[in-house]
Amino acid sequence: MTSNTPAGRPAPVPEVRAPWAALACAAAGLLLWHFFGNASKGWLKTDSVFWWCVGQWIDPVAETEHGWLILGLSGWLLWRNLRRSGPGQPEPAAGGGAGQVWPALVAMMGGLALHAVGFIGQQARISIVALLLYAWGVLRLGGGRRWGAAAVFPLAFLVFAIPLNMIDEVGLPLRMAVTSAGQKIAHACGIEVLRSGTQLLSPDGKFNYDVAAPCSGVRSLVALTALSLLIGYLEFRTVRRRALVLLASFPLVYLGNVARIVAIILAAAAGGPNWGDWAHEVMGYGVFVIVLGGVLGVAALLRRWWPEAVEPEAGRAIPAASTPTDPAALPPVGGATPDRPGHPIGDTSLAESGVGREERRGRGPVLVAAAVVLLVGAEMAGLRYLSRQPARGAAGVALAADGLNPVELPAFLGTEWIGRRAEVTAVEREVLPADTGYSRKLYVAVGDPRRQVFLSIVLSGRDRTSIHRPELCLVGQGWTIAETARHRFAVPGNRRDFPAALLRVRREVRTPKGTVVVPQLVAYWFIGGDEVVASHWARVALDSWNRVTRGRVDRWAYVLMQTDATDGEAAALGRLQAVIDETLPVFAPQLRAGASVGWRL
């Protein structure tokens, strides 16, 4: 046996690539995320996390159609990276099989663990991130380091395709900022514009525009941020330059949407509502031109004023002077030197040891695949068992005799308020899970029937999507959220108070005398088994934590109150507090007693 390496140096052992083992892991993961990928059945009644995602990509209401673009770009990026890296990369030094497959094993085990957390906590987005981590492990196992390195950014880029459904909460501050900037610029141009929350109105009634969520920049922010990150990734190699390109997209999105609002106002002031509507449509594309043009400009400036160092091209030959040619300068093989005999270069013992090492290396991917498949099977069995167990936890409010709905609210509050039954709509019952409970009344002041307070309690079932952010319903009902705040209501018979979110909302009502803006005040909070929170995301976090760490599924109560605010906010808050004083001891007696109830914002 002879050696083809310089001076008898043993050839490096090729890196382990195991496509068949990777296919086995991929098939196991496909089954897991399809049949046990989604535990939340509120909006999309499916077990598959794939359909949970695709179902929102094809739904125009979800505003996530850009997911298809992100998916296509990620596939192209993977192909591009593999092509640029090339199949003829230098092989790693000889080593054990464990050193070659352990990153894939760790990634897939981490993905399985993270998915278990997402499934138990009913957080499909966490399960999607877990799927991306698992997918990287599959690619690393099947294609080695080359595929693993090529897949890092494409898989991370897919995060932008995950439906977030945070438009209303995140978009409100942007809507307010865009509206304020549009009004100031219009005044600087000599155009009189009145501002009412997120509405811009002409004093003479020539135009009236509401800066809705699409015009706030949030929806364009997601897509344009993804494209900005892509531009930085393609143009530069260093993290700092890529980060600067990404950060530039945020102010550019704001400027683009301010330009859109200003263009609409100028067009409407010059030619009426028809011109304003035309500018609204055209500037929808103009925002993308402004932002992408600005990002490309920032990238061009960075290339000119902060250029990257030129690196040698892949595959460039190493200068001959740097390659040792003297066999005496190379490390001896097997300890053999001219004055100290040792193993000859072609000694069969080395070949035998190499064969044994290669066999051990070949078994590594097989063992990894077997372990992953077993873990997937165990996780599927465990998740199936957990999903069929009866819910453990406490209800946030007192229950009616049926054990499903909250206790019925009182019909009379002293001698000052009369409660009228408010029926649950058919749409609500159709959309929300069947085990969701309801109790609501419209309280009318005896002394002044114009003063009314609507009180609604929605009690979640096993699925956490039984209750959601009220901002979604209010906007869908035609209300404009002008401002959000926090307020603390007093607990009757207790020195403590509890937090609530306060929304100042408005809606236009047409009357024979013209259009009237009706202001109202909305307060809401959530009550769990031992928590009171005023934030939707605090409730989601606490509920997920209890599900994962304590195996506890509380029935959270979403309490909402709404009243007219034409007589001032102080009077409106007084009415809300008066109704709370009489009804809270009925539907939430634990708050009055103050027994081991946490109070959190």
Q: Exposed, middle or buried by CB within 10 Å (0-12, 13-18, 19+), for 415?
A: exposed
Q: Are residues 25 and 133 in the same domain?
A: yes
Choosing from 165, 198, 213, the residue where a domain stops is: 165
Question: CA–CA separation, 571 vs 595, rounded Å?
Answer: 31
CA distances from 126 to 474, 546, 560, 586 (A): 28, 16, 29, 38
Domain carrying residue 431:
412-599
Is residue 486 helix, strand or coil? strand
Helix (H) or strand (E) segment spanning residue 145:
helix 124-157
- The closest alpha carbon to 524, from 479, 569, 580, 567, belongs to 580
Residues contacting residue 568 through CB under 8 Å, at least 6 positions apart? none
pLDDT tens digit sequence for 289-336: 998 899 999 999 999 999 987 655 444 444 444 444 444 444 444 444
Choosing from 283, 305, 327, the residue where a domain stops is: 305
pLDDT tens digit sequence for 14-39: 555 688 999 999 999 999 999 999 98
197: left (phi over 0), alpha (psi -120 to 50) or beta: left
- Say if 400 falls within a structural domain: no
- Say if 50 falls within a structural domain: yes
User: How many domains would you assign to the chain?
Assistant: 3
Q: Are residues 127 and 194 in the same domain?
A: no
Q: Are residues 20 and 160 in the same domain?
A: yes
Tokens found for residue 390: 């009866």
Tokens found for residue 151: 């897949």
Residue 337, φ and ψ in degrees, nearest 5: -135, 165
Query: For 272-398, where are the alpha helices, taking DSSP H only?
Result: 273-305, 348-387
Q: Are residues 29 and 128 in the same domain?
A: yes
- Say if 492 falls within a structural domain: yes
The radius of gyration computed from the CA coordinates of the chain, to the nearest angstrom, equals 32
Q: Point out which residues pair with 516 in neighbouring strands.
A: 509
Q: Are residues 146 and 221 in the same domain?
A: no
Q: Are residues 130 and 202 in the same domain?
A: no
- Say if 538 falls within a structural domain: yes
Q: Are residues 161 and 199 in the same domain?
A: no
Question: CA–CA separation, 15 vs 43, rounded Å?
Answer: 46
pLDDT tens digit sequence for 366-382: 999 999 999 999 999 99
Q: Are residues 514 and 500 in the same domain?
A: yes
pLDDT tens digit sequence for 221-247: 778 889 999 999 999 999 999 999 999
Question: CA–CA separation, 173 vs 211, rounded Å?
Answer: 11
Q: Are residues 161 and 214 in the same domain?
A: no
Q: Are residues 230 and 198 in the same domain?
A: yes
Q: Are residues 416 and 564 in the same domain?
A: yes
Expressed in angstroms, the distance from the first to the final Cα of the chain is 76
Mean pLDDT of the chain: 81
- Say if 398 falls within a structural domain: no
- The closest alpha carbon to 9, from 94, 108, 127, 131, belongs to 94
The percent of residues above 70 in pLDDT, for the chain, comes to 77
Residues making up the chain, counted from first to last: 601
Q: Are residues 147 and 259 in the same domain?
A: no
- The closest alpha carbon to 36, from 553, 386, 552, belongs to 386
- Say if 384 falls within a structural domain: no
pTM of structure? 0.77
- Say if 403 falls within a structural domain: no
Render the burial of 500-523: b for 16+ CB within 10 Å, e for the rest: bbbbbbbeeeeeeeeeeeebbbbb
Mean pLDDT of 244-267: 89
Mean pLDDT of 47-64: 85
> In the predicted model, is pLDDT for residue 595 greater than 70?
no
Q: Is residue 207 a contact partner of residue 156, using CB atoms and an 8 Å limit?
A: no
Q: Is residue 414 a contact partner of residue 582, using CB atoms and an 8 Å limit?
A: yes
The 3-state DSSP composition of the chain as helix, strand, coil percent (nearest 5) reads 55, 15, 30
Helix (H) or strand (E) segment spanning residue 456:
strand 452-459
Choosing from 248, 282, 305, the residue where a domain stops is: 305
> In the predicted model, is pLDDT for residue 410 greater than 80?
yes
pLDDT tens digit sequence for 506-523: 876 666 666 677 899 999
- Say if 91 falls within a structural domain: no
Is residue 561 helix, strand or coil? strand
Tokens found for residue 389: 């167990």
